[in-house]
Amino acid sequence: MLPKPTDAELEILQVLWENGPSSVRFVNDQLAERREVGYTTTLKLMQIMHEKGLVVRNTDARSHIYEAAIERDATQRNLLGTFVDNVFSGSAIDLVMQALGNHKASPDELNQIKALIEKMEREE
């Protein structure tokens, strides 16, 4: 089973998920827009992620192209699970209430959630 990505690795995965296969240079540029980060740091992390199997890469060209090897949804689900356990003692409902209460959602977003809830009720 693949290891969970660390925080720094997750940052990199976000870039790959949003932009598709990318070079280290590109990923580093994206990260650098948000915070200071050295090129070799990003490189090293991506190499480690490759060892772990979190990314795959194409080494045909000199500049290697990396691609996420795990799905965004599955990863979020996975991390969410342990987060709920650690922080909300396993109560997903508590988390949902917190998240909702603490966030000004647009009417459209609220409708989305209502739709999902009604779907769940029908499937009961």
Partner DNA sequence: ATTTTTCTACGATTATTTTCGTAGAAAAAT
Partner DNA sequence: ATTTTTCTACGAAAATAATCGTAGAAAAAT
64 lies in the binding site for DNA (CB under 7 A): yes
43 lies in the binding site for DNA (CB under 7 A): yes
From candidates 14, 17, 21, 47, binder to DNA by CB under 7 A: 47
Helix axes 7-19, 24-34, angle to 10 degrees: 110
Q: If you search the block for the tokens 């409708």, which residue do you land on?
A: 111
Q: Check: CB of residue 81 under 8 Å from CB of residue 95.
A: no
Strand order in the sheet with 22-23: 22-23, 65-68, 55-58
Find which of a copy of itself, DNA, none residue 41 binds, CB within 5 to 8 Å per kind.
Answer: DNA
Other C-beta atoms closer than 10 Å to the C-beta of 98 total 13
Residue 57 or 95 having the CB closest to DNA: 57
From candidates 19, 58, 63, 76, binder to DNA by CB under 7 A: 63
Q: Check: CB of residue 58 under 8 Å from CB of residue 65.
A: yes
84 lies in the binding site for DNA (CB under 7 A): no
Distance, in Å, from the CA atom of 17 to the CA atom of 67, rounded to the nearest integer, reads 8
Q: Check: CB of residue 15 under 8 Å from CB of residue 31.
A: yes
Residue 36 or 73 having the CB closest to DNA: 36
87 lies in the binding site for a copy of itself (CB under 8 A): yes
From candidates 36, 59, 101, 122, binder to a copy of itself by CB under 8 A: 101
**Residues engaged in binding DNA (CB under 7 A):** 6-9, 23-25, 37-41, 43-45, 47-48, 59, 62-64
